[in-house]
């Protein structure tokens, strides 16, 4: 899991008068809630900090503060437990994106059969071609309206015919592209990207 570092190695906190918040308490919550959420002293997220983190006489955290790749709300209290400020929706966008990117790549239609037309929301299409027509036909959206790349994986024993829309080209030709049948452990796969005009390009392939 990716971890983000709070923007100071060992943060120091000050009150409105500019004085260090000696023995202050930094609370960490899930963004938008009062549910405690841990921070960590190491990038591998194995050692959780105390919650709250008690600051030293200089208003500093004794440890580094690493965050989960998700949203936080922080509240700082002084030594007398009086809240000084609350900051919500603290998030490292890059880390959150990285943590979710792999899951996003697998979103899409699974175990489709012959005649399926790829949806604009499909990142990954798996095709259960076994027992169906030969070839198993998978239709592409018009390249002009497609907004994202798509992976097409053949999990069955019948070859696929990936068909471009109308006069669109697929890897430079206005013709269907054949994805071979699966043969354990190989499940032939192509990764296609539209140009937004009239063509799809095979960016990567496996088992072809």
Of 152, 140, 137, 139, residue with least CA distance to 199: 140
DSSP state of 103: H
Q: What is the CATH number of the domain that holds 13?
A: 2.170.14.10
Give the end of a domain, one of 100, 131, 146: 100
Instruction: Answer yes or no: do 94 and 128 share one domain.
Output: no
Number of domains in the chain: 2
Residue 80 and residue 141 in one domain: no
Please give the model's pTM, rounded to 2 decimal places. Answer: 0.57
pLDDT digits (tens, 9 = 90+) for 163-176: 999 999 999 999 99
Picking from 47, 75, 100, the residue at the C-terminal end of a domain is: 100
Residue span of the structural domain in which 54 resides:
4-100
Let me know whether 146 and 197 are in one domain.
yes
Cα separation, 149 vs 196, in Å, equals 11
pLDDT digits (tens, 9 = 90+) for 110-166: 999 999 999 998 999 999 999 999 999 999 999 999 988 899 999 999 999 999 999
Distance, in Å, from the CA atom of 92 to the CA atom of 67, rounded to the nearest integer, reads 8
Mean pLDDT on 8-29: 85
């Amino acid at each position: 899991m990716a971890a983000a570092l709070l923007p100071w190695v060992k943060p120091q906190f000050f009150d409105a008068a500019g004085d260090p918040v000696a023995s202050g308490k930094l609370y960490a919550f899930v963004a938008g809630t009062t549910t405690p959420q841990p921070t960590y002293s190491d990038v591998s997220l194995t050692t959780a900090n105390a919650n709250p983190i008690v600051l030293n006489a200089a208003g500093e955290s004794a440890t580094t503060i690493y965050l989960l790749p998700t949203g936080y709300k922080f509240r700082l209290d002084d030594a007398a437990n009086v809240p000084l400020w609350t900051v919500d929706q603290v998030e490292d966008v890059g880390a959150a994106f990285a943590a979710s990117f792999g899951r996003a790549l697998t979103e899409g239609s699974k175990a489709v059969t012959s005649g399926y037309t790829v949806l604009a929301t499909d990142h990954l299409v798996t095709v259960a071609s076994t027992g169906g027509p030969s070839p198993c036909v998978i239709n592409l959206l018009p390249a002009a309206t497609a907004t994202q790349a798509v992976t097409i994986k053949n999990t069955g024993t019948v070859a696929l015919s990936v068909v471009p829309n109308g006069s669109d080209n697929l890897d430079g030709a206005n013709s269907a592209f054949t994805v071979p049948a699966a043969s354990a452990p190989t499940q032939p796969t192509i990764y296609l990207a539209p140009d937004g005009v009239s063509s799809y390009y095979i960016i990567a392939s496996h088992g072809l």
